Amino acid sequence: MMNEKHVISMLVDNEPGVLSRVAGLFSGRGYNIESLCVAETIDPDVSRITLVTRADPPILEQIEKQLNKLINVNKLRDLSGPESVQREMAMICVQARANNRAEILRIVDIFRCKVVDVGIEHYIIEVTGDEGKLMALINLLKPMGIKKIARTGVIALKREPG
Amino acid sequence: MKLTGAEILMKVLHEESVDTIFGFPGGAVIDIYDELVNTEINHYLVRHEQGAVHAADGYARASGKVGVCLVTSGPGATNTVTGIATAYMDSIPLVIFTGQVPTHLIGNDAFQEVDIVGISRPCTKHNYLVKRASDLARIIREAFYIARSGRPGPVLVDLPKDIMITKATYQTAVKPKIKSYRPHYEPNKRQLGKVIDLIKKAKRPVLFIGGGVILSKSSKDLTEFARRSQIPVTASLMGMGAFPGTDPLWLGMLGMHGTYRANMAIGASDLLISMGVRFDDRVTGKLDTFAPKAKIVHIDIDPTSIQKNIPVTIPIVGDCLHALKSLNEMAEKNNLGDVPRSRKSWLSQIDEWRSTRPLAYKTTKAIKPQFVIEKLYELTEGKAIITTEVGQNQMWAAQYYHFDKPDHFITSGGLGTMGFGLPAAIGAQVAHPDQTVVDIAGDGSIQMNIQEMATAMQYCLPVKVVILNNQYLGMVRQWQELFYEKRYACTCMKSGPDFVKLAKAYGAGGFRATRPDQVVDVLKKGLSYDGAAIMDFRVEKEESVYPMVPAGAPITEMLLV
Ligand SMILES: Cc1ncc(C[n+]2csc(CCOP(=O)(O)OP(=O)(O)O)c2C)c(N)n1
Ligand SMILES: [Mg+2]
């Protein structure tokens, strides 16, 4: 069966050690993590962890059960489908010399992203979107020379109030 | 009321009705010990912190209560890890208190500092570092609650030294509330109803039970259910004693060293009702040939156990006790007692397997280890609490001692920890001072925690150690014999010690048998000895445990005697 990508979102107690419980579970049981995002929610006692993993259905079932079993994990959901909004942000430092500066700006414009830093030989571009958009942008910028990149990993919310 | 951390600890231990602690002191816990001696709690000073955890584990298994340990920081804490992992694998409720360097030194590589919360994270059900005295009472209560509820397990609480002397407000008995932890006890009734329907249709049903039945204290209900519906019962190593080992419906243990009839019954079964088990590889053998014809029902309190190794037809999350109570009610309403005729031929098929291929061994001039266990069983009338070490001794104990009651077979099933048996026997003896407690040991394993003989002596605990002394790491030797062309690499343990002299050095009784005709006499002497005793049985050196299913083979393909 296919190892499908899954976005798992969970509310956890905002206390030290919780992240290592989650990460340790993945490394100890040989599950994979593609990306992982953690930050406080509006309740300072609660953090949200969003992680992306690839697994076949039985392993995914185990991952979700094992995460739920952690005492500090409160509520867990799979936010992979179209009923959820998924976004990721990246900052891309691209080589920008006279010959391609204009081209880069045009791409930035088309993708509705922003140049957040300008140097004699580089731009840093900030982009937000789903994975498809990020990959499309990265592919277009590659020929110009991407010097470095930082990605946040996916965060997601269900399309519903509360 | 303002109390010091150490005083609060004692208060909460009192709330939790703790009257027994196994431990070993050191600088980081000196304040706790200073307070402990003012309480009614009995503290057992072990000789190694691993022994403290195994003793607390044996105590917990024998008594059904939470076992408690107290050790110092650094090496005291790291010495507990094997014990904690042992309890974790077998779902035994423990609370382990470790000392820690003062909070302001944490992270500085202070003397005897170790990140025990980090180290023990993957082998505890949960763990805590107490950072404020005001959190202490809540954390300790949570620790006990988590350890004993749901699927039980060990919980570690790390106690920095300064917290133990800091004053904080103490409020009596506040019930712990953990919003993200709600064990699910009540099984789905509709799912249980389906089980009854399946039983009505089944021709060759089998009940397969594990440690969960013992932990949920549902042996009686299980026995009632099996007898009423005339379904034969097999068990994992951890489930031994949950169903009477002398009942005609008893199949014996399942798996790698299971009985012929149990393994064959699983191969032929059309309905496998499993409870409180986790389908360990030592039980299933080759996964895709396990119970190939059966619909599988799996009842367990831990959802992660279900569908982990074996795809099941009817998954049921819940406590075995709740499930069995409902199943018994439903069985009565549905007249499951009117056993279908087909069941009779199933049971006679099993009888045939039993009589054609019973557990067996060949007699020679040497003492057979199986014979020692048979005689031990007879002389103790099957009533002793048996702990084991790990290896052949453990398997022979499971095969030849017949357990009629739960909590009487105490063994490291999941982790297979050599050195478990003696300290576990000490814990069991503390829980049941008037019962006969016997550690069935190997000559290799017993040396891993032999120092605990001194603990037994100090507290006048009359534990008996039966060493099946083959001068080998026998189980490994057996694998080398069968699968490595007898290349006995580093499994021979020729050089002693003289266990009789060793026993005497500790002040215990020491007895030896070298010939079969001495076995009964030595057992009688050892068992009736007034105090702890070691019995050294010089057994057949290259005896192997049969049946045996080679690792990774289907369980119906057994090597027999
Ligand atoms: C701590 C530990 N180390 C190694 C092993 C691997 N092991 C399993 S059985 C066994 C042999 C045990 O020898 P002994 O105690 O003499 O028992 P026997 O099999 O001879 O009855 C060994 C080394 C283990 N289970 N636990
Ligand atoms: Mg041996």
Is B447 in the same domain as B496? yes
Query: Quick count: other Cβ atoms within 10 Å of Cβ B78?
Result: 17
**Final residue of a structural domain among A15, A44, A78:** A78
Q: Which atom of ligand 1 is nearest to the CA of B443?
A: 16
Question: A75 contacts in B (CB within 8 Å)?
Answer: 180
* Domain annotation covers residue B50: yes
* Pairwise CB contact (< 8 Å): A71 & B146: yes
3-state DSSP call for residue B127? strand
Is B434 in the same domain as B488? yes
Q: Is A21 part of the contact surface with chain B (CB cutoff 8 Å)?
A: yes
How large is the C-alpha radius of gyration of chain A?
Answer: 18
Q: Record the tokens describing residue B200, joined without a space.
A: 């009505």
Minimal C-alpha gap between B309 and chain A (Å): 10
Q: Which of B505, B96, B447 is nearest to B439 (CA)?
A: B447
**Final residue of a structural domain among A56, A78, A100:** A78
- Distance, in Å, from the CA atom of A148 to the CA atom of A140, rounded to the nearest integer, reads 15
pLDDT at A1: 53
Nearest to B121 among A13, A21, A61 (CB): A21
Average pLDDT value for residue range A55-80 = 96
Is B351 in the same domain as B374? no
Question: A58 contacts in B (CB within 8 Å)?
Answer: 307, 311
Distance of CA B402 from the midpoint of ligand 2 (Å): 22
Is A49 in the same domain as A112? no
Q: Is B135 part of the contact surface with chain A (CB cutoff 8 Å)?
A: no
Query: Quick count: other Cβ atoms within 10 Å of Cβ B326?
Result: 20
**Final residue of a structural domain among B304, B333, B356:** B356
CA count, 13 A, side-chain hemisphere, A116: 11
Nearest ligand to the CA of B395 is: 1
Is B374 in the same domain as B242? no
Q: Is A13 part of the contact surface with chain B (CB cutoff 8 Å)?
A: yes
Q: Enumerate residues lining ligand 1, CB below 6 A.
A: B 389-393, 416-418, 442-445, 468, 470, 472-476
The residue count of chain A comes to: 162
- Distance, in Å, from the CA atom of B198 to the CA atom of B270, rounded to the nearest integer, reads 10
Nearest to A17 among B117, B303, B304 (CB): B117
Look-up of token digits 């993708």: A111
Enzyme catalytic residues of B: 49, 111-112, 161, 475
Is B352 in the same domain as B380? no
Confidence tier at A3 by pLDDT (50, 70, 90) = confident
Number of domains in chain B: 3
Is B346 in the same domain as B430? no
CATH number for A29: 3.30.70.260
* Domain annotation covers residue B441: yes
Closest chain A residue to the Cα of B121, Cα to Cα: A21
Dihedrals phi, psi of B439, to nearest 5 degrees = -95, 115
**Final residue of a structural domain among A78, A112, A131:** A78
Q: Which atom of ligand 1 is nearest to the CA of B468?
A: 21
Minimal C-alpha gap between B125 and chain A (Å): 8
Question: B179 contacts in A (CB within 8 Å)?
Answer: 74
Confidence tier at B167 by pLDDT (50, 70, 90) = very high
Write out the DSSP string of B188-242.
-HHHHHHHHHHHHH-SSEEEEE-HHHHHTT-HHHHHHHHHHHT--EEE-GGGTTS
Contact A141, A92 (CB under 8 A): yes
Is B200 in the same domain as B164? no
B92 burial level (CB within 10 Å; 0-12, 13-18, 19+): buried
Is B257 in the same domain as B349? yes
pTM: 0.97
Q: Which of B36, B23, B148 is nearest to B94 (CA)?
A: B148
**Final residue of a structural domain among B110, B140, B169:** B169
pLDDT at B330: 96
Minimal C-alpha gap between B398 and chain A (Å): 30
In Å, how far are B443, B445, B538 from B493, measured between CA atoms? 8, 11, 13
Is B471 in the same domain as B386? yes
3-state DSSP call for residue B480? helix
Nearest ligand to the CA of B471 is: 2
pLDDT at A146 over 70: yes
pLDDT at B289 over 80: yes
B175 burial level (CB within 10 Å; 0-12, 13-18, 19+): exposed
Is A72 in the same domain as A92? no
Domain that holds residue B137: 2-169
**Final residue of a structural domain among B297, B323, B356:** B356
Residues 6+ apart with CB under 8 A from B239: B209, B210, B211, B212, B213, B214, B276, B277
* Domain annotation covers residue B174: no
Is B25 in the same domain as B128? yes
Contact B376, B385 (CB under 8 A): no
pLDDT at B479 over 90: yes
| Average pLDDT of the residues of chain B | 97
Distance of CA B448 from the midpoint of ligand 1 (Å): 10
- Distance, in Å, from the CA atom of B318 to the CA atom of B320, rounded to the nearest integer, reads 6
* Domain annotation covers residue B546: no
Query: Quick count: other Cβ atoms within 10 Å of Cβ B301?
Result: 27
- Distance, in Å, from the CA atom of B394 to the CA atom of B400, rounded to the nearest integer, reads 10
* Domain annotation covers residue B85: yes
* Domain annotation covers residue B145: yes
Domain that holds residue A49: 4-78
- Distance, in Å, from the CA atom of B282 to the CA atom of B411, rounded to the nearest integer, reads 15
Average pLDDT value for residue range B135-160 = 98
Model pLDDT for residues B354-367, shown as the tens digit of each residue: 999 999 999 999 99
* Domain annotation covers residue B559: no
Distance of CA B446 from the midpoint of ligand 1 (Å): 10
Model pLDDT for residues B43-88, shown as the tens digit of each residue: 999 999 999 999 999 999 999 999 999 999 999 999 999 999 999 9
Number of domains in chain A: 2
pLDDT at B339 over 90: no
Q: Is A18 part of the contact surface with chain B (CB cutoff 8 Å)?
A: no
Q: Which of B211, B84, B76, B86 is nearest to B151 (CA)?
A: B211
Dihedrals phi, psi of B106, to nearest 5 degrees = -60, 130
Q: Which of B368, B394, B473, B545 to mutate to test the pocket of ligand 1 (most atoms within 8 A of CB)?
A: B473
Is A151 in the same domain as A90? yes
Q: Which of B387, B450, B475 to mutate to test the pocket of ligand 1 (most atoms within 8 A of CB)?
A: B475
Is B443 in the same domain as B378? yes
Nearest ligand to the CA of B470 is: 2
Q: Record the tokens describing residue B550, joined without a space.
A: 């080679």
Is A101 in the same domain as A63? no
Burial pattern A121-140, b for ≥16 Cβ within 10 A else e, equals ebbbbebebebebbeebbee
- Distance, in Å, from the CA atom of B140 to the CA atom of B354, rounded to the nearest integer, reads 50
Model pLDDT for residues A106-145, shown as the tens digit of each residue: 999 999 999 999 999 999 999 999 999 999 999 999 999 9
pLDDT at B337 over 90: no
Is A73 in the same domain as A20? yes
Contact B511, B362 (CB under 8 A): no
* Pairwise CB contact (< 8 Å): A74 & B180: yes
Question: B121 contacts in A (CB within 8 Å)?
Answer: 17, 20-21, 24
Confidence tier at B480 by pLDDT (50, 70, 90) = very high
Is A68 in the same domain as A30? yes
Is B345 in the same domain as B210? yes
Model pLDDT for residues B430-472, shown as the tens digit of each residue: 999 999 999 999 999 999 999 999 999 999 999 999 999 999 9
* Domain annotation covers residue B553: no
CATH number for A96: 3.30.70.1150
* Pairwise CB contact (< 8 Å): B304 & A62: yes
Nearest to B304 among A65, A73, A74 (CB): A65
Q: Is B179 part of the contact surface with chain A (CB cutoff 8 Å)?
A: yes
